[in-house]
Chains A and B, each alone.
Chain A
């Protein structure tokens, strides 16, 4: 059975693409045949984060329009056997994606892949709606900050009412929350909402808490999903999130303030 997972948020720039790349790669690392689909029409970025931007020949819209076959458009990851990417179109035509077109392609992908990860554009308009419409599960990406948390709640409302599952009266989309750009230091100083605060406000459990990390920028600079940086805090936190997605019970890490070593204290450690 294949599983369609949307990575969404409402608010922009919170870490959806970073998360889609990490989770998709993590699933492939564990042996699951996975495709990550970029739904951000006009603002293609997943290809850069995955490091395959120079190999994009055909995109999602080309396949919908019949200008290319799905297999021509799928880009195989160079690192992992089980991982594929479908790029977003750079067209400025907002209506390039249609419900029928998306449904046809995603259904076809679901026949070939165990996991179909849909990287949603920001907002709650058409693009975001199409990305979540067919989903079985959702990862709502949130930053510990007021507007992001509020938008996540709106998105949770839409997920429960505006999906194909809801329309057909089937079991609703399984909702997960992923908190990212978390800074334990700032939480300890009372400057940032804590994991418990966000869980309480949204009454939903966390599938992962990803720390604010320099490893994310470093990874995106190189076009390597951060989960492949196994030494990094963010990479390990994403790895735990993937395990939880697969049903394992794993305690959260990186929620406490890291004690600075003597040298770091002397020379001002980086946060």
Chain B
């Protein structure tokens, strides 16, 4: 271990702030999912199957999200097509 590494290791990063940041992200994500209608995962799966008839994509390359804006909701579809 070099002297620099040693000094760095001694000045411990405050891990609580890392925990807080990670939790804020995951909690926001999970709260978003909680309000989603139950059919969203099934919708995503079927969409992947349809697109697959034409292009070879993975499940992760299709993202479906429902955003609520006042009285209406927007269904957002994000499909990443592979490199040509």
Known contacts A149-B23, A150-B27; A190 and B34 CB within 8 A of each other: no
- How far is the CB of B14 from the nearest CB of chain A, in Å? 3
- How far is the CB of A160 from the nearest CB of chain B, in Å? 9
B20: which A residues are within 8 A, CB to CB?
Answer: 193, 197, 200-201
| Contact digits for B10-45, partner A, Cβ 8 Å, 1 yes 0 no | 001011110110111011001100100000000000
Give chain B's interface secondary structure class. helix
- How far is the CB of B70 from the nearest CB of chain A, in Å? 21
State the CA gap A202–B20 with chains docked (Å).
Answer: 11
Closest to A152 in B: B27
Known contacts A153-B30, A154-B30, A157-B34; A146 and B14 CB within 8 A of each other: no
- The number of residues on chain A lying at the interface, defined by a beta carbon within 8 Å of a beta carbon of chain B, is 19
Closest to B24 in A: A201
Once the chains bind, are B16 and A150 in contact (CB under 8 Å)? Answer: no
B23: which A residues are within 8 A, CB to CB?
Answer: 146, 149-150, 193, 201
Once the chains bind, are B26 and A191 in contact (CB under 8 Å)? Answer: no
A193: which B residues are within 8 A, CB to CB?
Answer: 16, 19-20, 23
Once the chains bind, are B16 and A157 in contact (CB under 8 Å)? Answer: no
Name B27's contact: one of A153, A191, A192 (CB within 8 Å): A153
Once the chains bind, are A192 and B16 in contact (CB under 8 Å)? Answer: yes
A154: which B residues are within 8 A, CB to CB?
Answer: 30
Known contacts A157-B34, A193-B20, A197-B20; A202 and B27 CB within 8 A of each other: yes
Once the chains bind, are B22 and A146 in contact (CB under 8 Å)? Answer: yes
5 closest Cβ pairs, A-B complex: A190-B14, A197-B20, A157-B34, A201-B23, A153-B27
19 residue pairs bridging A and B, Cβ less than 8 Å apart: A146-B23, A149-B23, A150-B26, A154-B30, A157-B34, A161-B34, A190-B12, A190-B15, A190-B16, A190-B17, A191-B14, A191-B16, A193-B16, A193-B20, A193-B23, A194-B16, A200-B20, A201-B23, A202-B27
* New contact pairs (15) apart from A146-B22, A150-B26, A197-B20, CB-CB < 8 Å: A145-B19, A150-B23, A153-B31, A154-B30, A157-B34, A161-B34, A187-B16, A190-B12, A190-B14, A190-B15, A191-B16, A193-B19, A193-B23, A194-B16, A201-B20
Q: Which residues of A contact B (CB under 8 A)?
A: 145-146, 149-150, 153-154, 157, 161, 187, 189-194, 197, 200-202
